[in-house]
Amino acid sequence: MKRGQRPVVELSQLLRVPIVGAPMAGGPSTPHLAASVGEAGGLGFLAGGRLDPADLRKQIRQVRYLTERPFGVNLMVPQCQPNLELAAPAWLAYRAALADDAVQVGAALPARPRRDDDDFAGKVDTVVAEGPAVVSFTFGLPAIEVLRAIQSVGTAVWATVTRIEDACSALLAGVDGLCLQGPDSGGHRATVHASDPPPTVPLESLIAEARTLTKLPLIAAGGVDGPAAVARLLGLGADAVQVGTLLLGATEAGTHPAHRRALGANAVYGQTVVTRAFTGRPVRAVRNDFVARHDSWAPALYPHVHHLTAPIRAAAADAGQSDLLGVWAGTGYRAVRETSTHRIVDHLAAAARHWAPALAVA
């Protein structure tokens, strides 16, 4: 494709089976995981959030070294940042409340909140230069010029949305596909502002409503715990299903061992909940002691609370102290099994033997 042309992206070019490996920042997404999902017939993703542009470039090139299959890159759109002078008292109060936890695991907390746009512009330049098959966005969409710059190199742009209003805006902006994220999804959801309450609209309704708006690819995400869930979401009109939590158990994933141990059939924690306690932005995670103590009053300051709790979470992971760990997971967390990516994708795709990709035209 020549520069300047809009891509025509057919799902059949990207997928042999209707499984998309979810981007999972913070370690679980690795080049090996993305390549293995692709080799199994799905579409693998790298998570660009919280990586610097040079590392993202390295990871993209590593996937290309490992596979000739297409893959995607996910980017987190930077937030409208609060005035840090006004926000500092709430952040400092939360910091004081976390002091005992920090001492318990020997973590040093930052002294002040700091500005951080995750070097978004640098990562946009990286994806424009490298041209992966798909770039997906979470936490909103960037400016139209950014979308067009990415599309101009033949890369399809997908928007991750949790509400039909955001799906409409994304379609008007000219995206090439939608990732519809339901309330059972693990990790952060694609709400635009950290202070937005995460919508509770069931994934089923989101798929049905979005299908009335567009023939573009609809990728359904959230709470997948096995092949029956995949079959159900495809039956409701999704073109493919995005799987995150189940891939946390994949051999090729970079999931921390302490995170892995908190998932699966023998998981000690009885439920997942949506909480701001770890990052200031709603995230679905297992309800451990940290969540129980801090959920009710963590300030909605993202990514400032993320940077505040990160040293505690990292030290807790290394110490195997799961009560202070951020165990991001969807409601299907008990179905996580330690096995190869190939087996996970094959097992899920068995539910979709008669699947035929939509003819999706951008």
Ligand X SMILES: Cc1cc2nc3c(=O)[nH]c(=O)nc-3n(C[C@H](O)[C@H](O)[C@H](O)COP(=O)(O)O)c2cc1C
Which chain residues interact with ligand X by CB under 6 A? 22-26, 28, 47, 49, 74, 138, 160, 181, 184-188, 221-224, 242-245, 328-330, 332
Question: What DSSP element (H or E) covers 283?
Answer: strand 283-286
| φ/ψ of residue 31, rounded to 5 | -60, -35
Of the pair 90, 351, the CB lying nearest ligand X is at 351
Q: Whats the size of the chain, residue-wise? A: 362
Considering the complex, what minimum distance in angstroms separates the CB of residue 206 from ligand X? 13
Of the pair 95, 307, the CB lying nearest ligand X is at 307
Considering the complex, what minimum distance in angstroms separates the CB of residue 239 from ligand X? 15
Query: Which residue type occupies 351?
Result: A
Distance in angstroms (rounded) separating the CA atoms of residues 275 and 188 = 9
Distance in angstroms (rounded) separating the CA atoms of residues 343 and 324 = 31
Of the pair 74, 191, the CB lying nearest ligand X is at 74
Of the pair 4, 202, the CB lying nearest ligand X is at 202
Residue 197, Cβ neighbours under 10 Å: how many? Answer: 9
Of the pair 105, 246, the CB lying nearest ligand X is at 246
Mode of pairing for the β-strands spanning 272-275 and 283-286: antiparallel
Considering the complex, what minimum distance in angstroms separates the CB of residue 114 from ligand X? 20
Of the pair 216, 224, the CB lying nearest ligand X is at 224
Locus of tokens 């939608």: 178
Nearest residue to 244 via CA among 48, 32, 21, 74? 21
Considering the complex, what minimum distance in angstroms separates the CB of residue 284 from ligand X? 8
Query: Which residue type occupies 83?
Result: N
33-39-44-46 Cα dihedral, nearest 10 degrees: 50
Considering the complex, what minimum distance in angstroms separates the CB of residue 259 from ligand X? 8
Of the pair 187, 280, the CB lying nearest ligand X is at 187
Mode of pairing for the β-strands spanning 187-188 and 283-286: antiparallel
Considering the complex, what minimum distance in angstroms separates the CB of residue 5 from ligand X? 27
Distance in angstroms (rounded) separating the CA atoms of residues 34 and 25 = 12
Residues 330, 240 contacting (CB under 8 angstroms)? no
Radius of gyration of the chain (CA): 19
Considering the complex, what minimum distance in angstroms separates the CB of residue 1 from ligand X? 26
